Amino acid sequence: MKPRSLVTGGAGFLGSHLCEHLLKLGHQVIAMDNLLTGTISNIEHLQGEDFKFIKHDVTEYIYLAGPVNYVWHFASPASPLDYLQLPIHTLKVGALGTHKALGLAFEKKASFMLASTSEVYGDPLIHPQEEEYWGNVNPVGPRGVYDEAKRFGEALTMAYHRYKDMNTKIVRIFNTYGPRMRPNDGRAIPTFIPQALKNEPITIFGDGKQTRSFCYVDDLIEGICRLMFSDYHEPVNIGNPHEMTITEMAQLIIELSGSKSKLINKPLPVDDPKVRQPNISLAKKLLDWEPKVPVNEGIQRTIEWFQNVL
Ligand code: NAD
């Protein structure tokens, strides 16, 4: 019997790459998504006897016939633009959606993974961020809807692990990029690449000195699979520690795409973190995992994908 996986948010950027990878590992895969920020075009190439798509809002009761071995809970708006436009839905999917997905995993005796985020660290007061750090989040700021939903999701997941003896995992994902990101979803890389390809000005928020650490999607998927198949239950950072300023990333994209774009500055959004870099010592030790794709190569692959879709 093939293992059977349910991926919530399966039509999104990360969810679709995860579905693809699980099919390669020999799983039967069900992608469940309400297509709020995801799209069928991300998964239509996966159609086949081992893959099924179910359109469903996971904040509502989830029913699935038959066995399920793994539940990967990835449904949630993820870009600041999306969650600032969908604040109540973001809170609902992080809270009610996580509850429903955990409930299904409990009923099926499945392993469960919560896709959490580096945003649980907020605007961090320690650098790089390690799993023991509890974070510096403004609960009532505009970004609080996402950060607090994920923090609640982590607490709920640990409660199901401790009090219902479930096999749960929490991955804290740091900025990840690659093919299938939506142009103009507000995140830096899918905003910069189309601007560069059209030779339009590249819009940098603030002075561009804030840092991010970008992980290529293939590396992330490998890391989260190793975590799911491990027997560790506390949160684990998965991301690429290669830290760059936003301006350096924009310049790299201009260089690799041969663009004539210039940089322009726009006001910094409220509570935008100043620095972001994962400490991945735990993932290295526990999962023997570290990212392999250098930033130049990952950005090059992403530019090529955008060239084809734009
Ligand atoms: P995405 O927007 O591309 O994917 C999210 C998917 O969830 C979409 O397909 C959307 O339609 C679906 N969805 C939203 N609400 C739903 C609901 N109520 N019911 C069913 N489906 C619903 O975003 P992504 O970048 O692929 O992020 C996936 C997950 O990873 C999210 O949970 C996000 O918080 C987490 N994450 C991503 C990153 C990153 O850098 N991409 C970083 C940290 C955490």
Cα separation of 284 and 276, whole Å?
Answer: 19
Report d(CA 241, CA 222) in Å as an integer.
Answer: 16
The reported pLDDT for the residue numbered 163 is 98
pLDDT of the residue at 271: 79
d(CA 199, CA 261): 5
**pLDDT band (50, 70, 90) for residue 310:** confident
Ligand 1 center–CA 307 separation, angstroms: 24
> How far is residue 283's CA from residue 287's CA, in Å, rounded to a whole number?
5
pLDDT band at 274 (very low <50, low <70, confident <90, very high): confident
- The two most distant CA atoms of the chain are separated, in Å, by 58
pLDDT of 219 above 90 = yes
Residues with CB under 6 A from ligand 1: 8-9, 11-15, 33-38, 57-59, 74-78, 93, 97, 115, 117, 173, 175-176
Cβ atoms of residues 280 and 290 within 8 Å: yes
CA 190 – ligand 1 centroid, Å:
15
> What is the position in ligand 1's atom list of the atom closest to the CA of 185?
2
Torsion region of 44: left, alpha or beta (phi above 0 gives left; psi -120 to 50 gives alpha): alpha
- Tokens representing 139 are 């609960």
C-alpha 11: how far from its chain's center?
Answer: 13
Q: Residue 90: what pLDDT?
A: 98
What's the mean pLDDT in 18-45?
98
Ligand 1: centre distance to CA 14 (Å): 7
- 234 closest CA partner among 130, 143, 148, 124: 130
- Residue 197 confidence (pLDDT) above 90: yes
Query: pLDDT band at 288, cuts 50/70/90?
Result: very high
From 35, 74, 119, 236, the mutation candidate for ligand 1 (largest count of ligand atoms within 8 A of CB) is: 74
Q: How far is CA 299 from CA 169, 175, 216, 256, 258, in A?
A: 29, 13, 8, 8, 13
- Asked if the model's pLDDT at residue 145 lies above 90, the reply is yes
Q: Tokens in use for 47?
A: 């159609």
The whole-number average pLDDT for the span 197-216 is 95
Give residue 273's pLDDT: 82
Would residue 83 show up in a list of annotated catalytic residues for this protein? no
What is the C-alpha to C-alpha distance for residues 114 and 288, in angstroms, rounded to an integer? 21
Atom of ligand 1 nearest to the CA of 39: 9
CA 105 – ligand 1 centroid, Å: 19
Place of tokens 């904040």: 59
pLDDT confidence bin for 173, thresholds 50/70/90: very high
Q: Which of 70, 83, 121, 146 is catalytic?
A: 146
Per-residue pLDDT at 140 exceeds 90: yes
Q: Is the per-residue pLDDT at 270 higher than 90?
A: no
CB of 115 within 8 A of CB of 76? yes
The pLDDT, as a whole number, for residue 132 is 97
Mutate to test the pocket of ligand 1, among 6, 8, 13, 73 (most ligand atoms within 8 A of CB): 13
The pLDDT of residue 135 is above 90? yes
The Cα-based distances of 112 to 7, 71, 101, 154, 228 in angstroms read: 10, 5, 8, 12, 8
Ordered structural domains, the chain, with CATH: 4-177+215-241+278-287 (3.40.50.720), 188-210+243-276+295-309 (3.90.25.10)
Q: Which atom of ligand 1 is nearest to the CA of 77?
A: 2
Beta strands 51-55; 28-33: pairing state: parallel
Q: How far is the CA of 75 from the centre of ligand 1 (A)?
A: 5
β-bridge pairing 202-205 and 211-213: unpaired
What pLDDT sits at residue 272? 81
Give percent of the chain with pLDDT exceeding 90.
95
- The ligand 1 atom at the shortest distance from the C-alpha of residue 82 is 2
